[in-house]
Amino acid sequence: MCGMLSAQQVLSGQMAGRNFLLRPPEPSPDLLLSPPAESVYIGKTKCLAMPFFWNSKKLLNPHLCVVGTTGSGKSYFVKTFITRASLTIGASALILDWAGEYSDWVRSAGGRVVSFGKQGINLLDLAGGAPHARMSQVMDSLRILTDISSSPAQCRLTEDAIEKAYVAAGFSMGRPATGKRKPPTLEAVQRILGHQARKSADAAEAAHRIKNLLLSSGGSFTTPTIPLSSLLSGLVCVDLHSLPTETLRSLAGLSILQFVKERMRASDYSPHALPRLFVVVDEAWKIAADERSDVVSIVREGRKYGFGLIVASQSPTDIHKSIFSNAGTMMLFRLTHASERDYVRSSLAYSDFYEEESHSLSVGQALVHLEFSQPTSCPRAFVLRKVDGEEPLVALHLRGGGMNLEFERGEISSRLLSFGLTDKQVSHLLSDFERHSFSLEASQFASALERFGHSRASAISLLRELGASERDLLSALSSHGSKSSVAVAVLEERGAGRQGSKRRLAGQIRARKPSKARTAARQAKPRKGSSRRKKPSKRGKGSAGARRR
Q: What is the mean pLDDT of residues 238-246?
A: 89
Res 544 pLDDT > 60: no
Q: What pTM, to 2 d.p., does this model score?
A: 0.70
Nearest-angstrom CA–CA distance, 453 and 243: 26
**350 vs 59, residue with greater confidence:** 59
Q: What is the mean pLDDT of residues 473-490?
A: 60
CATH number of 40-121+225-387: 3.40.50.300
What does residue 405 show for φ and ψ, rounded to 5 degrees? Answer: -95, 140
Nearest-angstrom CA–CA distance, 195 and 204: 9
Res 539 pLDDT > 80: no
Q: What is the pLDDT of residues 180-208, one digit of tens each?
A: 788 999 999 999 999 999 889 999 999 99
Confidence of residue 3 (pLDDT cuts 50, 70, 90): low
Map residue 306 onto helix, strand or coil: coil
Map residue 194 onto helix, strand or coil: helix
Q: What is the mean pLDDT of residues 242-271?
A: 84
Give percent of the chain above pLDDT 70: 81
Q: Is 16 exposed, middle or buried (0-12, 13-18, 19+ CB in 10 A)?
A: exposed
Select from 291, 233, 210 the least CA-distant residue to 112: 233
Q: What is the pLDDT of residues 151-166, one digit of tens each?
A: 999 999 999 999 999 9
Give the torsion through C-alpha atoms of 230, 261, 279, 290, to 10 deg.
140
Specify whether the CB–CB gap between 329 and 59 falls below 8 A. yes
User: In this predicted structure, what is the pLDDT of residue 104?
Assistant: 84
Beta bridge partners of 92: 277
Nearest-angstrom CA–CA distance, 251 and 257: 10
Contacts 24+ apart (CB under 8 A), 34-39: 34/58, 36/88, 37/88, 37/89, 38/88, 38/89, 38/274, 39/88, 39/89
Q: What is the mean pLDDT of residues 414-424?
A: 84
Res 109 pLDDT > 80: yes
User: In this predicted structure, what is the pLDDT of residue 54?
Assistant: 96
Select from 280, 216, 224 the least CA-distant residue to 246: 216
Comparing 131-135, 210-214, 397-401, 483-487, the range with the smallest average pLDDT is 483-487
Please state the domain extents for the chain: 40-121+225-387, 148-224, 395-511
Q: What is the mean pLDDT of residues 278-296?
A: 82
Number of H helices, E strands in the chain: 23, 14
Confidence of residue 10 (pLDDT cuts 50, 70, 90): low
Q: What is the pLDDT of residues 54-83, one digit of tens each?
A: 999 999 999 999 999 888 889 899 999 999
Provide the residue type at 343 as one letter: Y
Res 325 pLDDT > 90: no
Q: What is the mean pLDDT of residues 128-146?
A: 89
Q: Which H or E run contains 217?
A: helix 201-217
What does residue 403 show for φ and ψ, rounded to 5 degrees? Answer: -90, 135
Confidence of residue 296 (pLDDT cuts 50, 70, 90): confident
Q: What is the pLDDT of residues 19-44, one digit of tens each?
A: 555 567 889 999 999 999 899 999 99
Res 331 pLDDT > 90: yes
Nearest-angstrom CA–CA distance, 104 and 241: 13
Confidence of residue 303 (pLDDT cuts 50, 70, 90): confident
Res 490 pLDDT > 60: no
Select from 120, 68, 119 the least CA-distant residue to 283: 68
Q: What sign results for the dihedral spanned by CA atoms 20, 23, 26, 28?
A: positive
Specify whether the CB–CB gap between 210 and 193 falls below 8 A. yes
